[in-house]
Structure 1
Amino acid sequence: MSETERKSMIKVRGGFSERNRIIHFGDVIQTTEFEYFSRVALCNCIYDFMSNIFEVVYNPSYSLCPEYSSSFEAAFCKDMIRNVFHEHDECSHPDSYSWNSIYTSVRDVITDAPYNEVLDIIEYICNYLEPRSGAGTIYQKFNDLFEQECIGYRFISKRIVPITDNSEVKEIEQACHTPFEGARTQLQKALGFLSDREHPDYKNCVKESISAVESVCKVISGNEKAALKDALNGLIANGMNIHGSLKSAILALYGYASDEGGIRHAERETESTVTFEEAKFMMVTCSAIVNYLVAEYGKHGAGNA
C-alpha cells in the first residue's frame, strides 16, 4: 500500500500534519455537514455528562449528583426508547435498563445521522439531563464545544438555534474567491482566524474583514493611498450607485474596527474583547459588502480588477 493510499488514523489539531498542510480541518462554519472529528467531540461531550450522572448507580462517590438512584436511569432509558428511538419497550424491571446501551445508540446517531438529527438528539438529552447537571452547565459546555468546532449553532433558552445559515456561508465563500487579490487574501485570512479550532483570533478576523472592504474600495476608486471615506466618495463620483445610508454603514463598521479598543492597532495597550458572534457578523457583513461592490463595479466594466 502506498503512502497516499493509507487511511488516516488520527487527526491532531494544530499538530505537524495540519501546520504543514498535509491534512486540514474544515475552514468554513459547519451548518448542514459536520466533520467526523467534530461528531466524535459531540459524542464524547454527551458521554461525559451521561456517565457523570448515571455512574452513581454503581459508584455513588463518583457522581456530582449522588441523590439520584437507578430509578432515574430507568426513567431516562425508557423515555429515550419510546420517545426518541420509537422502539418496542419490553423491559419489565428497572435493572434491565442501562444508560451504556442507550449511549451506544446515541453515539450511532451523532456519528452517522444527518446534522438535524444530531442536533435533535443533543437538544433532547440536554433538556432531560440539565436539572441534574447543574444550572445551565450542560448548555454552556455544548456552546463552548460548538464554538470550538466552528459549528453554526448555539443553545439559547434551552433550544439549539442557528447563529448562521447557508446564505451567510455562501456570502463568505463567494467573497473569498473575489477577483480582487488583496481583498481575497484578507478575507481568507479572516476566515482562518475565525475558524481556527485551537487558537481562534476574533480580533484579527474583524481587522482583516474590514480591511478587505477598504482594499476593494481603493482598487475600484483607482487611488491605492485613499482613506476609506475618500475612496467611497471616488466610487460615487465615478458613477457607482452607493446609497448614502449604505456609505454611512460601511464607515460605521470601519469606525467600530478602528475604535479605542485597538482592533486594527494591536500595539495599543487597551484591546477590545471581540466575541465569536461579533467576528462572525463582521466576516459575513464585510463579505456581503465586497460582493456588492464587485457586482456594482462589474456593471461599469471590470477591466482593472
Structure 2
Amino acid sequence: MSKVSFAQRFGFEKRVPINNDFPETARTALAYLLDDLANRDYEKIRPKQAIIAELCRTGRQKSIDENQSEVFFDQALWHLEKMTWEQIYTFCERAYLKLLAPIGNTNYDINSDYWEEEMPLGEVQKYFEAEINNILVEENLAYHFVNGQFQRRGRAQTQKNIQRVGTVLANPDLADARNHYNRARAFFDQRPEPDVQNCVKEAVCALESCVFTLSKQSNSNNFTKTIKQIEKIPPTISEGIVKLYAYRGDAKGVAHAAPQGSQVSEIEAELVLSLVASYITYIVDLLTYPYDEVPF
C-alpha cells in the first residue's frame, strides 16, 4: 500500500485528479521504475529486452532506432513518450502480469555458479504495485493500482465504503448482489471514460438483490414495499433507501432510454457506488449479525 504523499499531508495536492492523461513527469518516474526493475538479478529472463519488447507491442511501435541511446532508461523513456496515456496504463497492467519475476542474486564459488532467490514473485508484485501507486498519488492521477489492474481512485470515503462492502458481500448467499456490485465497479473503472449509466444501474441492482435476499422475498418485484416492511429500519432511513432506488428510474439512460431525466456524471456515479455500499453494509449488519459480530 502506498503511503500518503507530502503534498497530500500538507495540502499541496491539486484539487481535481487527472483522469485522461499520463503526464510527462509521470512517464519519467515510470522509466526510472522500469530501469530499477531491469537492473535486478533475475533467473532465466532478460528483463531489459522483455520490457522494451512489451513497450513496443503495447505502443504499436517498431524497435528503437539502433542509432539512439544504448542506455536502458533512455530507451524506455523514448518509448513511453510516444505512447498514448491509455497505452501506458495497459502496459503497466501487462507488465504486472507478464514481466515480473522472482529476484535473487548469483553466487559463485570455485566449482559452480548458481542463482538464489531473495524476493519471491509475490513480493516483487507488491513492490511494483506500491511504486506505481506512489506515482499515481504524486502525479494526482485518478486511479490506483490493485492486484495488477487500475481502478478509479474515488474519494477516500468511497474507497472505505467499497472495501467494507466487499467483505460483507463475501457471504455466499449474497453472490447475486456481489456480481451486480462488481459489474458496477467495472463500469466505473472503465477507460478512457467510465460507463456511468451502467454503473448506476448495476449498483442499484446490487442493493435490490441484497434487500430481496435478506428479507426472504426473492420473488417480490416491489422494492419500496419490501424495504418499508423491514421493521428494524427506521422510516427516515428507509425513505432514503427508496429515494436512491428511485434515482435509477429518474436518471437519463440508466433504467430506460428516455430522452428526459437527470444527467449522470462521474460524480453521481461515485456517489451511488458509495451510498449503495453503505446501505448494503448497514442492511446486512442489521438483519444478519449481532452488533458484536460485524464482519469488518
TM-score normalised by the chain length of structure 2: 0.48
- Structure with higher strand content: 2
